[in-house]
Copies of this chain bind each other. A is one copy, B any other.
Amino acid sequence: MEKMKRAERMVAITQVLMLKPNVLTPLSLFAERFGTAKSTISEDLMAVKESFILSGQGHIETVSGASGGVRYIPEIAPEEAKQFLSRLSELLSNKERILTGGFLYMTDLLFDPSVLRPLGLIFASAFRDKLPDVVVTIETKGIPLALVTAEALGLPMVVIRTGNKVTEGSSVSINYVSGSSRRIQTMSLSRRALEPKRRVLVIDDFMKAGGTALGIRNLMTEFEADVVGIGVLVEARMTEEPKLVEGYLSLLQLKELDFYTGKTSVVPVVSY
């Protein structure tokens, strides 16, 4: 292969790093692929790093030592996150989203990759320093949100099933009362899905009274897990009634939803 120029190497390095967020690539891999000295690669990397700092879209981390290398940590610029959440609030504050029973229709947004990707980065930035080992959610609508968060953090995802559908060996089930249905429901998780004593980040799409989050917390104690964070996209805040769980982070608040007047209001949480 013809020897590459500096600019070409820098683009190639950027590509490799961005394709595998959070994955450590040894410098020797680049040196071999481009047929150059490791010191040349180090110089290329310095310039690539600089470019990431300027853009605010994540940063390049170097880990030294024999098993070291370089990796891309995806991030979202705070200003971009703010603008994005404000736009999302407007989209959700549309009266056509009010469903019978006083629910807010969010499914189209929760299943749209272009909406999910920034949300994953926002949750990742908020919880990265809690050092979670795994992202846990409950089926169904929270799954895409949990997945993009897990990917931004470089972690696996675990999905709790509702009901007793688990066919995967022995499982743990608990009962809980979901705020939206006000019925006693069951959630289950297979023993083989989550090792004991993990640091767990819980991600879900919506919190009303917090019954589901409390249920997940209780289920996690059965796995001796340490719940290091709870993140929800939208929290219902129509009364001052306290939630059943504390210490969670919500990105948006549903302040008003009136089925009869057709008024609805979703606002971003100012500091998260």
Contact = CB atoms under 8 A, between A and B. Distances in A.
Interface of A: 6-8, 10-12, 14-16, 18-20, 23, 47-48, 50-52, 54-55, 57, 99-101, 103, 105, 107-108, 111-114, 116-117, 139-140, 143-144, 147, 150-151, 154-159, 161, 167-169, 190, 192-193
Given A54-B12, A111-B159, A168-B105, A147 B150 contact: no
A108 B156 contact: yes
A230 to B, nearest CB: 19
Nearest to A151: B113
A144 to B, nearest CB: 5
Contacts of A143: 140, 143-144
Contacts of A16: 55
Contact of A167 (B19, B101, B117): B101
Nearest to A158: B111
Contacts of A193: 107-108
A235 B268 CA distance: 44
A190 B108 CA distance: 11
Nearest to A121: B19
A120 B7 CA distance: 30
Given A10-B7, A15-B57, A156 B112 contact: yes
A107 to B, nearest CB: 6
Contact of A50 (B8, B47, B107, B156): B8
Given A23-B114, A157-B112, A10 B10 contact: yes
Contact of A113 (B50, B57, B157): B157
Contacts of A108: 156, 192-193
Nearest to A190: B107
User: Which of A14, A113, A190 has its CB near the most chain B CB atoms (within 10 A)?
Assistant: A113
A152 to B, nearest CB: 9
Contacts of A14: 11, 14-15, 18
B111 A167 contact: no
Contacts of A47: 7-8, 11
A111 to B, nearest CB: 4
B15 A105 contact: no
A157 B117 CA distance: 14
